[in-house]
Structure 1
Amino acid sequence: MAEQLLLAVDVGTGGVRVALLDPHGNLEATASVPVETATPRPAWAEQRPEDWWEGLKAALPKALEGIDTSRIAGICVDGTASTLIACNQDGVPLRPALLWMDVRAAQEADDLTNTGDPALKYAGQETVSAEWGVPKLMWLSRHEPETYANAEVFADCVDWMNFRLTGEWTMSICTATCKYFYDSNWSGWPTNLYSHAGISDALGKIPSRVLKMGEKVGTLGSAAAAELGLPTGIPVAMGGIDAHVGAVGLGVVVPGSLALITGSSHVMLGQTDQAIYSKGLWGAYFDAIVPGQYTVEAGQISSGSVNNWFAKNFTLQAHLEESATGRDIYQILDEKAKDVPIGSDGVIALDHFQGNRSPFSNAYSRGAFTGLTLSHTENHLYRAVLESVCFGTRTIFDTMREKGLDPTTVMVSGGPTKSEFWMQMHADVTGVPMSLPNNTEGPLVGCAILAAVGAGLYENIQEAAQNMMSIAHTIEPRPGAYEEYDFYFHRYLEIYRALEPIAAQTSRHIGARE
Structure 2
Amino acid sequence: MARDITIGLDCGTGGARALVCDAAGQVLAMATREYPTHYPRPGWATQAPADWWRAACGAIREAVERARIDPARIAAICADGTSSTLVALDADLEPVAEAILWMDNRASPQARRIEATGHAALRRSRAGVSAETALPKILWLREEAPERFARTRWFVEMADYLALKLSGRLTLGQNLTINRWFYDPRAGGWPEDFLNAIGLQGITARFPSEMPALGDPIGPLCAAAAAETGLPADVLVVAGGTDAYVAMVGLNTLRPGETALITGTSHLVLPVVAEDVEIEGLFGPHPDCVTRGRFVMEGGQVSSGAILRWWHDLLHEAGDGYGPLLAEAEAAPAGANGLVVLDFWQGNRNPFTDYDLQGAIWGLTLKHSRADVTRALMEAVALGTANILGRLSAKGLAVDSMTLAGGVLRSPFWVQMHADSTGTPLRIPEVGDATAFGAAIAAAVGAGLHPSLEAAADRMVRIRDEVHPDPGRTAQFRAQLDLYLETHAALRPLMHRMAARSRASPAPVAAPPAAVPA
Shorter-chain TM-score category?
A: over 0.9
Could you list the per-position Cα deviations for residues 283-335 of structure 1 after superposition, in whole angstroms to 9, with x for gaps in the alignment?
1011111111111111000100001111111x46xx7xx99xxxx64221222
* Alpha carbons 1:453, 1:464 under 8 Å: kept: yes
SS of the residue aligned with 1:33? strand
Could you list the per-position Cα deviations for residues 181-225 of structure 1 after superposition, in whole angstroms to 9, with x for gaps in the alignment?
000010101111111121122210111121211111111112211
Q: Give the counterpart of 1:92 among 91, 94, 112.
A: 94
Q: Residue in 2 aligned with 1:466? A: 458
Query: Aligned-pair RMSD on alpha carbons?
Result: 1.4
CA distance in 1, matches of 2:3, 2:137: 44
| Alpha-carbon distance, 1:470 to partner | 0.7
* Alpha carbons 1:113, 1:126 under 8 Å: kept: no
* Alpha carbons 1:178, 1:285 under 8 Å: kept: yes
Confirm or deny that 1:234 pairs with 2:235: yes
Q: Give the counterpart of 2:104 among 102, 105, 109.
A: 102
| Aligned length in residues | 504
Q: Which moved more, 1:399-408 or 1:99-108?
A: 399-408
Q: Which moved more, 1:208-217 or 1:381-390?
A: 208-217
Q: Residue in 2 aligned with 1:278? A: 279
* Alpha carbons 2:219, 2:236 under 8 Å: kept: yes
| Alpha-carbon distance, 1:282 to partner | 0.2
SS of the residue aligned with 1:211? coil
Matches within 5 A, 1:181-196: 181-196=182-197
* Alpha carbons 2:85, 2:101 under 8 Å: kept: yes
Q: Residue in 2 aligned with 1:258? A: 259
* CA separation of 1:199 and 1:434: change in aligned 2, threshold 3 A: same
Matches within 5 A, 1:142-291: 142-291=143-292
Q: Give the counterpart of 2:505 among 484, 488, 513.
A: 513
Match for 1:311: what amino acid? H
| Alpha-carbon distance, 1:479 to partner | 3.2
Q: Residue in 2 aligned with 1:83? A: 85
Q: Residue in 1 aligned with 2:60? A: 60
**Larger RCO of the pair (alpha carbons < 8 Å, separation 6+):** 2
Q: Residue in 1 aligned with 2:386? A: 394
Confirm or deny that 1:495 pairs with 2:487: yes
SS of the residue aligned with 1:244? helix
CA distance in 2, matches of 1:473, 1:3: 32
Q: Give the counterpart of 1:120 among 119, 122, 127.
A: 122
Q: Which moved more, 1:217-226 or 1:441-450?
A: 217-226
Q: Residue in 1 aligned with 2:516? A: none
Q: Give the counterpart of 1:350 among 342, 345, 355.
A: 342
Match for 1:409: what amino acid? S
CA distance in 1, matches of 2:27, 2:10: 14
Could you list the per-position Cα deviations for residues 219-250 of structure 1 after superposition, in whole angstroms to 9, with x for gaps in the alignment?
11122111211111211111110000011100
Q: Residue in 1 aligned with 2:513? A: none
TM-score normalised according to structure 1 size: 0.96
Could you list the per-position Cα deviations for residues 469-511 of structure 1 after superposition, in whole angstroms to 9, with x for gaps in the alignment?
0101011111311112222111011001100000001111111
CA distance in 1, matches of 2:453, 2:2: 24
* Alpha carbons 1:91, 1:160 under 8 Å: kept: no
Instruction: Could you list the structure 1 runs, at least 4 aligned residues long, displaced by more than 3 angstroms after superposition.
Output: none
Identity in percent: 38
Could you list the per-position Cα deviations for residues 410-434 of structure 1 after superposition, in whole angstroms to 9, with x for gaps in the alignment?
0000022110000100011110011
SS of the residue aligned with 1:480? helix
CA distance in 1, matches of 2:174, 2:3: 31
SS of the residue aligned with 2:203? helix
CA distance in 1, matches of 2:2, 2:89: 41
* Alpha carbons 2:76, 2:237 under 8 Å: kept: yes
* Alpha carbons 1:154, 1:202 under 8 Å: kept: no
Q: Which moved more, 1:370-379 or 1:208-217?
A: 208-217
Q: Residue in 2 aligned with 1:434? A: 426
* Alpha carbons 1:436, 1:474 under 8 Å: kept: yes
| Alpha-carbon distance, 1:35 to partner | 0.8
| Alpha-carbon distance, 1:456 to partner | 0.3
SS of the residue aligned with 1:137? helix
SS of the residue aligned with 1:210? coil
CA distance in 2, matches of 1:253, 1:365: 33
